[in-house]
Amino acid sequence: MIKVSAPGKIHFLGEHTVVYGKPALLAAVDLRVTTTVIPAKAGIHTNNDLRKIIEPIIKKYLKIKTIPPYNVEISSQIPIGAGLGSSAAVSAAYIGTLLCFLKIKWDLNLINKLTYEAEKVFHGNPSGGDNTTVVYGGLISYIKGGPIEPLPFSISPKLSKNFVLINTGKPVETTRQMVEMVAVHKDKFKKIFDEQEKLVSELLPAIETGNEKGFIRIIQEGEKNLERIGVVSPYVKAIIRKIEKAGGAAKICGAGGKTKATGILLAYHHNKKVLEKIAKFYILPYFSTSLGVEGLKLH
Ligand code: MEV
Protein backbone atom coordinates (compact mmCIF):
# COMPACT_ATOMS: atom_id res chain seq x y z
CA MET A 1 0.00 0.00 0.00
CA ILE A 2 1.43 3.41 -0.97
CA LYS A 3 0.03 6.63 0.46
CA VAL A 4 0.87 10.19 -0.65
CA SER A 5 -0.73 13.49 0.35
CA ALA A 6 -0.61 16.98 -1.14
CA PRO A 7 -1.80 20.32 0.27
CA GLY A 8 -4.02 22.89 -1.44
CA LYS A 9 -2.79 26.40 -2.29
CA ILE A 10 -3.81 30.01 -2.04
CA HIS A 11 -2.64 32.92 -4.14
CA PHE A 12 -1.51 35.83 -2.01
CA LEU A 13 -1.37 37.70 -5.31
CA GLY A 14 -0.47 37.33 -8.97
CA GLU A 15 -3.17 34.96 -10.24
CA HIS A 16 -3.96 35.51 -13.93
CA THR A 17 -0.99 37.87 -14.46
CA VAL A 18 1.26 34.85 -13.76
CA VAL A 19 -0.03 33.29 -17.00
CA TYR A 20 1.67 36.21 -18.85
CA GLY A 21 5.08 35.85 -17.23
CA LYS A 22 4.52 38.09 -14.19
CA PRO A 23 5.44 36.82 -10.70
CA ALA A 24 2.91 35.35 -8.28
CA LEU A 25 3.14 34.70 -4.57
CA LEU A 26 1.48 31.50 -3.37
CA ALA A 27 1.30 29.46 -0.18
CA ALA A 28 0.45 25.83 0.51
CA VAL A 29 -2.61 25.48 2.79
CA ASP A 30 -3.30 22.83 5.37
CA LEU A 31 -6.14 21.09 3.57
CA ARG A 32 -4.86 17.88 2.03
CA VAL A 33 -5.77 15.32 -0.56
CA THR A 34 -4.56 11.79 0.10
CA THR A 35 -4.24 9.06 -2.50
CA THR A 36 -3.61 5.42 -1.70
CA VAL A 37 -2.60 2.87 -4.29
CA ILE A 38 -3.07 -0.80 -3.52
CA PRO A 39 -1.74 -3.49 -5.87
CA ALA A 40 -4.65 -5.48 -7.30
CA LYS A 41 -5.18 -8.83 -8.93
CA ALA A 42 -5.55 -8.63 -12.70
CA GLY A 43 -9.14 -7.88 -13.60
CA ILE A 44 -10.23 -5.85 -10.55
CA HIS A 45 -8.70 -2.69 -11.84
CA THR A 46 -11.02 0.17 -10.70
CA ASN A 47 -11.65 3.03 -13.06
CA ASN A 48 -12.04 6.73 -12.59
CA ASP A 49 -11.72 9.88 -14.67
CA LEU A 50 -8.45 10.91 -13.11
CA ARG A 51 -6.89 7.60 -14.10
CA LYS A 52 -7.72 8.40 -17.75
CA ILE A 53 -5.77 11.66 -17.48
CA ILE A 54 -2.81 10.58 -15.36
CA GLU A 55 -1.94 7.14 -16.77
CA PRO A 56 -1.29 8.31 -20.37
CA ILE A 57 1.03 11.05 -19.04
CA ILE A 58 3.02 8.54 -16.98
CA LYS A 59 3.15 5.97 -19.79
CA LYS A 60 4.35 8.58 -22.27
CA TYR A 61 7.03 9.96 -19.98
CA LEU A 62 8.32 6.59 -18.74
CA LYS A 63 7.92 5.07 -22.22
CA ILE A 64 5.94 2.11 -20.85
CA LYS A 65 2.97 0.38 -22.46
CA THR A 66 1.19 -1.00 -19.40
CA ILE A 67 0.88 -0.31 -15.69
CA PRO A 68 0.33 -3.35 -13.43
CA PRO A 69 -3.21 -3.55 -11.98
CA TYR A 70 -3.92 -1.50 -8.87
CA ASN A 71 -6.79 0.11 -7.02
CA VAL A 72 -6.68 3.73 -6.00
CA GLU A 73 -8.48 5.50 -3.15
CA ILE A 74 -8.70 9.28 -3.09
CA SER A 75 -9.87 11.34 -0.13
CA SER A 76 -9.80 15.12 -0.14
CA GLN A 77 -10.36 18.00 2.27
CA ILE A 78 -10.00 20.54 -0.55
CA PRO A 79 -13.24 21.95 -1.98
CA ILE A 80 -13.33 21.43 -5.77
CA GLY A 81 -13.34 24.45 -8.08
CA ALA A 82 -12.82 26.92 -5.23
CA GLY A 83 -9.41 28.27 -6.25
CA LEU A 84 -7.58 26.11 -3.71
CA GLY A 85 -5.67 24.08 -6.27
CA SER A 86 -7.66 20.87 -5.90
CA SER A 87 -6.84 19.63 -9.42
CA ALA A 88 -3.10 20.21 -8.93
CA ALA A 89 -3.16 18.57 -5.49
CA VAL A 90 -5.05 15.46 -6.54
CA SER A 91 -2.90 15.05 -9.67
CA ALA A 92 0.35 15.49 -7.74
CA ALA A 93 -0.68 13.00 -5.04
CA TYR A 94 -1.90 10.46 -7.60
CA ILE A 95 1.26 10.80 -9.73
CA GLY A 96 3.42 10.50 -6.59
CA THR A 97 1.72 7.25 -5.53
CA LEU A 98 1.79 5.79 -9.01
CA LEU A 99 5.49 6.52 -9.52
CA CYS A 100 6.23 4.83 -6.17
CA PHE A 101 4.06 1.90 -7.21
CA LEU A 102 6.20 1.67 -10.38
CA LYS A 103 9.34 1.78 -8.18
CA ILE A 104 10.54 5.09 -9.57
CA LYS A 105 12.79 7.05 -7.19
CA TRP A 106 10.93 9.80 -5.23
CA ASP A 107 11.72 12.96 -7.18
CA LEU A 108 9.73 16.17 -6.62
CA ASN A 109 11.01 17.73 -9.85
CA LEU A 110 9.70 14.80 -11.87
CA ILE A 111 6.35 14.73 -10.04
CA ASN A 112 5.98 18.50 -10.55
CA LYS A 113 6.75 18.20 -14.26
CA LEU A 114 4.15 15.45 -14.77
CA THR A 115 1.59 17.28 -12.62
CA TYR A 116 2.02 20.30 -14.88
CA GLU A 117 1.13 18.04 -17.84
CA ALA A 118 -2.05 16.99 -16.00
CA GLU A 119 -2.87 20.65 -15.26
CA LYS A 120 -2.68 21.37 -19.01
CA VAL A 121 -5.34 18.71 -19.59
CA PHE A 122 -7.53 20.27 -16.88
CA HIS A 123 -7.04 23.97 -17.61
CA GLY A 124 -5.59 24.47 -21.09
CA ASN A 125 -2.88 27.08 -20.49
CA PRO A 126 -1.85 26.92 -16.82
CA SER A 127 1.07 28.92 -15.48
CA GLY A 128 2.41 26.01 -13.42
CA GLY A 129 2.13 27.99 -10.17
CA ASP A 130 -0.52 25.77 -8.59
CA ASN A 131 1.32 22.48 -9.17
CA THR A 132 4.65 23.96 -8.04
CA THR A 133 3.10 25.16 -4.77
CA VAL A 134 1.33 21.92 -3.88
CA VAL A 135 4.44 19.86 -4.70
CA TYR A 136 7.10 21.96 -2.93
CA GLY A 137 4.90 23.49 -0.23
CA GLY A 138 5.72 26.52 1.94
CA LEU A 139 5.65 29.98 0.42
CA ILE A 140 6.44 30.13 -3.29
CA SER A 141 7.46 33.08 -5.41
CA TYR A 142 6.61 31.77 -8.87
CA ILE A 143 7.43 32.94 -12.38
CA LYS A 144 6.37 30.80 -15.34
CA GLY A 145 9.40 28.94 -16.66
CA GLY A 146 11.65 30.41 -13.94
CA PRO A 147 13.56 28.56 -11.23
CA ILE A 148 11.47 27.19 -8.37
CA GLU A 149 11.87 29.42 -5.36
CA PRO A 150 10.50 28.18 -2.04
CA LEU A 151 11.08 31.25 0.13
CA PRO A 152 13.44 30.89 3.08
CA PHE A 153 11.05 32.57 5.54
CA SER A 154 7.52 32.02 6.75
CA ILE A 155 4.60 34.41 7.06
CA SER A 156 5.10 36.71 10.02
CA PRO A 157 3.08 35.40 13.01
CA LYS A 158 1.72 38.94 13.37
CA LEU A 159 -0.23 38.35 10.14
CA SER A 160 -0.59 34.57 9.94
CA LYS A 161 -3.11 34.30 12.79
CA ASN A 162 -5.54 36.77 11.22
CA PHE A 163 -6.62 35.08 7.99
CA VAL A 164 -10.05 33.66 7.35
CA LEU A 165 -10.93 31.76 4.17
CA ILE A 166 -14.54 32.45 3.17
CA ASN A 167 -16.09 30.10 0.65
CA THR A 168 -18.38 32.01 -1.74
CA GLY A 169 -19.18 28.75 -3.55
CA LYS A 170 -18.17 27.04 -6.78
CA PRO A 171 -18.09 29.46 -9.72
CA VAL A 172 -20.16 28.53 -12.77
CA GLU A 173 -17.13 29.42 -14.91
CA THR A 174 -14.19 27.00 -15.00
CA THR A 175 -10.56 28.09 -14.51
CA ARG A 176 -10.02 27.41 -18.22
CA GLN A 177 -12.89 29.75 -19.16
CA MET A 178 -11.71 32.52 -16.84
CA VAL A 179 -8.13 32.32 -18.17
CA GLU A 180 -9.43 32.38 -21.76
CA MET A 181 -11.65 35.36 -20.97
CA VAL A 182 -8.70 37.39 -19.69
CA ALA A 183 -6.55 36.28 -22.66
CA VAL A 184 -8.97 37.92 -25.11
CA HIS A 185 -8.23 41.36 -23.61
CA LYS A 186 -4.63 40.85 -22.48
CA ASP A 187 -3.16 43.66 -24.65
CA LYS A 188 -5.61 46.15 -23.14
CA PHE A 189 -4.59 45.02 -19.63
CA LYS A 190 -0.84 45.60 -19.96
CA LYS A 191 -0.73 48.51 -17.50
CA ILE A 192 -2.78 46.59 -14.93
CA PHE A 193 -0.46 43.57 -15.27
CA ASP A 194 2.56 45.84 -14.64
CA GLU A 195 0.89 47.33 -11.56
CA GLN A 196 0.13 43.85 -10.24
CA GLU A 197 3.78 42.86 -10.72
CA LYS A 198 4.86 45.84 -8.60
CA LEU A 199 2.35 44.93 -5.87
CA VAL A 200 3.62 41.33 -5.76
CA SER A 201 7.18 42.59 -5.23
CA GLU A 202 5.99 44.86 -2.39
CA LEU A 203 4.01 42.04 -0.81
CA LEU A 204 7.01 39.84 -0.08
CA PRO A 205 8.69 42.14 2.48
CA ALA A 206 5.29 42.99 4.02
CA ILE A 207 4.60 39.30 4.66
CA GLU A 208 8.07 38.63 6.00
CA THR A 209 8.17 41.56 8.41
CA GLY A 210 4.49 41.56 9.40
CA ASN A 211 3.81 45.05 8.05
CA GLU A 212 0.04 44.95 8.51
CA LYS A 213 -0.74 48.38 7.09
CA GLY A 214 1.30 47.66 3.98
CA PHE A 215 -0.19 44.19 3.62
CA ILE A 216 -3.79 45.48 3.78
CA ARG A 217 -3.07 48.20 1.21
CA ILE A 218 -1.40 45.76 -1.22
CA ILE A 219 -4.22 43.20 -0.98
CA GLN A 220 -6.85 45.93 -1.49
CA GLU A 221 -5.04 47.33 -4.54
CA GLY A 222 -4.34 43.85 -5.91
CA GLU A 223 -8.02 42.94 -5.58
CA LYS A 224 -9.01 46.13 -7.45
CA ASN A 225 -6.75 45.08 -10.32
CA LEU A 226 -8.41 41.66 -10.41
CA GLU A 227 -11.76 43.45 -10.59
CA ARG A 228 -10.50 45.62 -13.47
CA ILE A 229 -9.65 42.53 -15.53
CA GLY A 230 -13.19 41.23 -14.94
CA VAL A 231 -12.68 38.16 -12.77
CA VAL A 232 -14.71 39.24 -9.72
CA SER A 233 -18.53 39.11 -9.78
CA PRO A 234 -20.67 42.01 -8.46
CA TYR A 235 -21.92 39.74 -5.64
CA VAL A 236 -18.38 39.06 -4.37
CA LYS A 237 -17.26 42.67 -4.88
CA ALA A 238 -19.98 43.70 -2.42
CA ILE A 239 -18.67 41.25 0.22
CA ILE A 240 -15.12 42.52 -0.26
CA ARG A 241 -16.22 46.18 0.06
CA LYS A 242 -17.88 45.31 3.36
CA ILE A 243 -14.65 43.74 4.66
CA GLU A 244 -12.64 46.78 3.50
CA LYS A 245 -15.08 49.17 5.15
CA ALA A 246 -14.60 47.26 8.40
CA GLY A 247 -10.83 47.85 8.16
CA GLY A 248 -9.72 44.59 6.55
CA ALA A 249 -8.80 43.32 3.10
CA ALA A 250 -9.98 40.42 0.98
CA LYS A 251 -9.39 39.07 -2.48
CA ILE A 252 -10.43 36.24 -4.71
CA CYS A 253 -7.94 33.45 -4.80
CA GLY A 254 -7.30 31.84 -8.18
CA ALA A 255 -9.32 32.17 -11.36
CA GLY A 256 -12.41 33.87 -9.84
CA GLY A 257 -15.84 34.05 -11.46
CA LYS A 258 -17.95 36.70 -13.14
CA THR A 259 -21.51 35.49 -12.55
CA LYS A 260 -21.83 35.00 -8.79
CA ALA A 261 -19.61 32.68 -6.76
CA THR A 262 -15.83 33.08 -7.10
CA GLY A 263 -14.59 30.27 -4.85
CA ILE A 264 -12.49 31.07 -1.79
CA LEU A 265 -11.90 34.60 -0.56
CA LEU A 266 -8.63 35.17 1.23
CA ALA A 267 -9.69 37.61 3.94
CA TYR A 268 -7.58 39.45 6.50
CA HIS A 269 -8.46 41.55 9.54
CA HIS A 270 -6.56 42.11 12.79
CA ASN A 271 -9.74 40.95 14.53
CA LYS A 272 -10.85 37.74 12.82
CA LYS A 273 -14.27 37.96 14.48
CA VAL A 274 -15.11 40.85 12.14
CA LEU A 275 -14.55 38.56 9.13
CA GLU A 276 -16.51 35.72 10.71
CA LYS A 277 -19.44 38.07 11.31
CA ILE A 278 -19.43 39.19 7.68
CA ALA A 279 -19.28 35.57 6.44
CA LYS A 280 -22.25 34.74 8.69
CA PHE A 281 -24.16 37.76 7.38
CA TYR A 282 -23.84 36.34 3.84
CA ILE A 283 -24.51 32.78 5.13
CA LEU A 284 -21.17 31.60 3.76
CA PRO A 285 -18.96 28.86 5.23
CA TYR A 286 -15.59 30.05 6.55
CA PHE A 287 -12.54 28.54 8.19
CA SER A 288 -8.96 29.26 9.21
CA THR A 289 -6.06 27.06 8.26
CA SER A 290 -2.28 27.16 8.44
CA LEU A 291 -0.54 28.77 5.47
CA GLY A 292 2.88 27.76 4.19
CA VAL A 293 2.63 24.07 5.13
CA GLU A 294 4.59 21.06 3.87
CA GLY A 295 4.19 20.08 0.21
CA LEU A 296 3.88 16.60 -1.26
CA LYS A 297 4.47 13.94 1.33
CA LEU A 298 5.06 10.20 1.13
CA HIS A 299 3.48 8.63 4.22
C1 MEV B 1 -5.53 29.41 -10.94
O2 MEV B 1 -5.44 28.85 -9.65
C3 MEV B 1 -4.56 30.54 -11.11
C4 MEV B 1 -4.55 31.22 -12.49
O5 MEV B 1 -3.52 32.21 -12.42
C6 MEV B 1 -4.22 30.25 -13.60
C7 MEV B 1 -2.81 29.70 -13.55
O8 MEV B 1 -1.94 30.25 -12.89
O9 MEV B 1 -2.59 28.71 -14.25
C10 MEV B 1 -5.86 31.91 -12.80
pLDDT at 160 over 70: yes
Contact 238, 59 (CB under 8 A): no
> Alpha-carbon distance 32 to 20, whole Å?
29
| Distance in Å, CA 163 to ligand 1 centroid | 21
pLDDT at position 48: 77
Q: 9-39, pLDDT tens digit by residue?
A: 999 999 999 999 999 999 999 999 999 999 8
255 CB less than 6 Å from ligand 1? yes
Report which ligand 1 atom has the smallest distance to the Cα of 14.
5
Backbone angles phi, psi at 37, to 5 degrees: -110, 130
Cβ–ligand 1 distance for 182 under 6 Å, the answer: no
Cβ(257) – ligand 1 distance below 6 Å? no
Beta 24-39 vs 139-142: how paired, if at all?
antiparallel
* Residue 130 Cα to ligand 1 middle (Å): 7
DSSP H helix total and E strand total for the chain: 10, 10
- Taking the CA of residue 17 as reference, the ligand 1 atom at the shortest distance is 5
Residue range 79-107, pLDDT digits in tens:
999 999 999 999 999 999 999 999 999 99
Average pLDDT of the segment spanning 118-130: 95
pLDDT at 113: 98
Average pLDDT estimate for 213-218: 98
Helix runs in the chain, H state only: 49-62, 86-101, 108-123, 129-136, 157-160, 175-184, 190-209, 212-228, 234-245, 272-281
How many angstroms separate the alpha carbon of residue 24 from the centre of ligand 1? 10
Region 197-207: mean pLDDT is 97
Nearest residue to 87 (alpha-carbon basis) of 42, 126, 45: 126
Q: Does residue 16 have its Cβ closer than 6 Å to ligand 1?
A: yes
Angstrom CA distances, 70 to 41, 67, 297, 298, stand at: 7, 8, 20, 18
Nearest Cα residue to atom 1 of ligand 1: 254
Rounded to the nearest angstrom, the distance between the alpha carbon of 177 and the centre of ligand 1 is 11
| Residue 84 in contact with ligand 1 by CB distance below 6 A | no
The secondary structure of 47-71, three-state, reads CCHHHHHHHHHHHHHHCCCCCCCEE
pTM: 0.96
Ligand 1 and 199: CB distance under 6 A:
no
CA of 293 to the centre of ligand 1 (A): 20
Q: Which atom of ligand 1 is nearest to the CA of 16?
A: 5
Q: 114, 61 in Cβ contact below 8 A?
A: yes
Residue 88 Cα: closest atom of ligand 1: 2
Q: Does ligand 1 come within 6 angstroms of the Cβ of 254?
A: yes
Mutate to test the pocket of ligand 1, among 9, 10, 11 (most ligand atoms within 8 A of CB): 11
Q: Determine the 3-state secondary structure of 11 from DSSP.
A: strand
Query: Which residue in 148, 144, 147 sits closest to 135, CA to CA?
Result: 148
Quick check: helix, strand or coil at residue 120? Answer: helix
Mean of pLDDT values over 196-218: 97
Q: Is the pLDDT of residue 45 over 70?
A: no
